[in-house]
């Protein structure tokens, strides 16, 4: 029973344009959300997070938006760069554990 | 600062063999986790620990065991390896809930 869903397995964006990665969740008890980036043969690395009491958090080119009523969050990358090509995982905190989505593979083309 | 260190990076096991995946962190984090990632799938939680001497099951604990005798180390034991345990295993740690987790580089395990 997937509580964190990333319904787009892949996304292709041109360099310089905006990348929008989406994530939906089912558990209203989630209190903290994170985005991770993963390159092949490496472990996931933390990108940005947002508390459930906020609706936006920004860090440089990365912005995460949270819509609690819709149980939806999104990651915006502006402008997208070829080095952003990776798999992005959405994660949600519930008690002690982090629940992960299946990931979205982002390809940024020159 | 090494962060989270996993050993080995790769391993091939025969069906029925046992092994221990090692995980160590040097950040004095209370919480530690073991996840597995199958192709095209997200990370599934196997076991976690909120401190030395305290462990609990995650989503997919069958076939695995853990121990946490020190804050730094959180080994994962596979008993009687099965092909279904072929996966990439990630160890992670964080200070407490509500903070980001730091991941190791992963152990790619193949059971043949």
B95 pLDDT more than 70: yes
The pLDDT of residue A15 is: 98
Regions of chain A with pLDDT less than 70: none
**Tens digits of residue pLDDT in A13-33:** 999 999 999 999 999 999 999
Reported as a pLDDT band with limits 50, 70 and 90, residue B1 is low
B23 pLDDT more than 80: yes
The pLDDT of residue B39 is: 84
The pLDDT of residue B71 is: 96
Q: What is the mean pLDDT of chain B?
A: 95
Q: What is the CA radius of gyration of chain B?
A: 13
B98 vs A: CB within 8 A: yes
User: A98 vs B101: CB contact, 8 Å cut-off?
Assistant: yes
A3 vs B: CB within 8 A: no
Chain A interface mutation, best of B3, B27, B37, B90, highest count of A Cβ atoms under 10 Å: B37
B2 CA: distance to closest CA in chain A (Å): 14
Reported as a pLDDT band with limits 50, 70 and 90, residue B97 is confident
B31 vs A: CB within 8 A: yes
B36 pLDDT more than 80: yes
**What is B12-80 written as a DSSP string?**
EE-TT--EEEEEEESS--SEEEEEEE-TT--EEEEEEEEETTEEEE-S--TTEEE--SSSSB--EEE-S
């Amino acid at each position: 029973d997937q509580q964190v869903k990333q319904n787009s397995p892949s996304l292709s964006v041109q360099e310089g344009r905006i990348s929008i990665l989406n994530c939906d969740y089912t558990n209203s008890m989630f209190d903290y959300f994170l985005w991770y980036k993963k390159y092949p043969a490496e472990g996931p690395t933390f990108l940005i997070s947002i508390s459930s009491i906020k609706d936006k958090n920004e860090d440089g080119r990365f912005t995460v938006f949270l819509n609690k009523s819709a149980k939806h969050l999104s990651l915006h990358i502006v402008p997208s760069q070829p080095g952003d090509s990776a798999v992005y995982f959405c994660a949600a905190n519930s008690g002690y554990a982090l629940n992960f989505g299946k990931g979205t593979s982002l390809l940024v083309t020159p | 600062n090494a962060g989270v260190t996993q050993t080995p990076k790769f391993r091939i096991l025969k069906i029925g063999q046992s092994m221990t995946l090692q995980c160590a962190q040097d950040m004095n984090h209370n919480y530690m986790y073991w996840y597995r990632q199958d192709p095209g799938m997200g990370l599934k939680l196997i076991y976690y620990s909120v401190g030395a001497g305290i462990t609990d099951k995650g989503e997919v604990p069958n076939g695995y065991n853990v121990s946490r005798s020190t804050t730094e180390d959180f080994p994962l034991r596979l008993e009687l390896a099965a092909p279904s345990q072929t996966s990439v295993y990630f160890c992670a740690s964080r200070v407490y809930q509500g903070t980001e987790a730091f991941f190791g580089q992963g152990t790619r395990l193949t059971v043949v």
